[in-house]
Structure 1
């Protein structure tokens, strides 16, 4: 009594024709009459797609035209998170089922247009040129007479001898009625055949990812820098088990830590930068530490010359002089008379 029994499904199994398989799945197929979407086995059984990607492909294929299928729109419609949805869309885009392109509208706004194809492999095959449709014959057309093959001439039989006593008034035979004249329509030019496509329709590839910047390296990797860097990287797992690195990864990351130490960065500051605000859990510690060592490296410390205040330019100050005539003070590099006294002397001399 505690286990519910699906009697409808049990009754449907009894109605299936033929013997049922002893193991595996048994399909009870009921034909849909409305609200259904046709999904091909190339998508449902794709060996390179994850189950999440196939599920979102079926969901996108069942949506009507013009429905928003971005990451945030799908996350608001379905219970999955944005990270899972974004990963599934990237899988579909890599296998050609999905294409996202940024286009500019007439009003200047830039939007993302998403194109979904249920059979991307069919786009790689050349399409056959369709024959022009034949126009059904109308009433005013007369089909061209079929020319019969030439046959050997046949001699007509000789007419019989006239009757010596023919009927003087034979009954007149009715003349055949003339056939109605059919007017042929003017000849029409044949419809131009569509040009054959030389290249198959292949969706454009996605934009390539930018190349990762190289790991920073010191000017000279001394044994002392290598020893401190190795000890710092090996000690990260003591502060957080997620940062357990292998010996090969430690050996690859030593030059990056040595570049930080060469720039006078304290080991505690390096450890704090590498382990603070890390995701939980850290799935790929080597990639995570390499990324932070590359992107968060500080600049070199400035030296005393860079920190010194700029020297002020020397300004030459003209000293004060006492006029020999009026004893007023005036600026001049040499002693003598002021300007007024020089003018008076000039006027007196004139």
Structure 2
């Protein structure tokens, strides 16, 4: 159950509220880093990192630096369903002293709950430890490289091969980088379309998943550029015998060479 204190938080953004609700639905030990969340949601790493910092600022997320038995220092991520119930800085409540032998112990008053770290033998269900990972830097990642201009159009046009390949806009944005890799390696758009649409299974429930697998498993190496088209070989004109000096010369049709004057009979002949 997600409390209204999170869903109606006056300071958190919608992105942070959605990420917090998703993290609270995960089992213990699930990855909740920036890269894992970016693979799950279409938002980029910058927006996911900002949402995690918001949750950490308002107590829904905490990162503790801990030392393992091997001496390695790592960062463990904790998610709190109700911030304020657990304060890691407070010391644990002291254990009651054992009764003296021969005397009946007096009844101990019930102490009020004191916030403290979660004991290992009785974990609080509201505290969900995440995987032990190194702390990710807060610097914004490098901007994504531009996609090939024909990648999105190729995916949107796959429905012409098979009506089942009418993809949602979200799937087109997710698969466009992989198609761009194919095109940048020298594959022609028609070749990519034949590979993605050839021999599709009859019972295809998730077309986007089938395309994602083929784009990853069947990606070709960098292809050499196509060879330039061979120019046609121009053959020399055949030999002709000059009508004026009987000398051989090359020309496409019989007549006189360039050293002889034009034939007066042909010049006076009217054009047809």
**Normalization by structure 2: what TM-score?**
0.34
Q: With a CA cutoff of 8 Å and minimum separation of 6, indicate the structure with the bigger relative contact order.
A: 2
**Normalization by structure 1: what TM-score?**
0.27
Name whichever structure is richer in strand by fraction: 2
Q: Mark the structure with the bigger radius of gyration.
A: 1
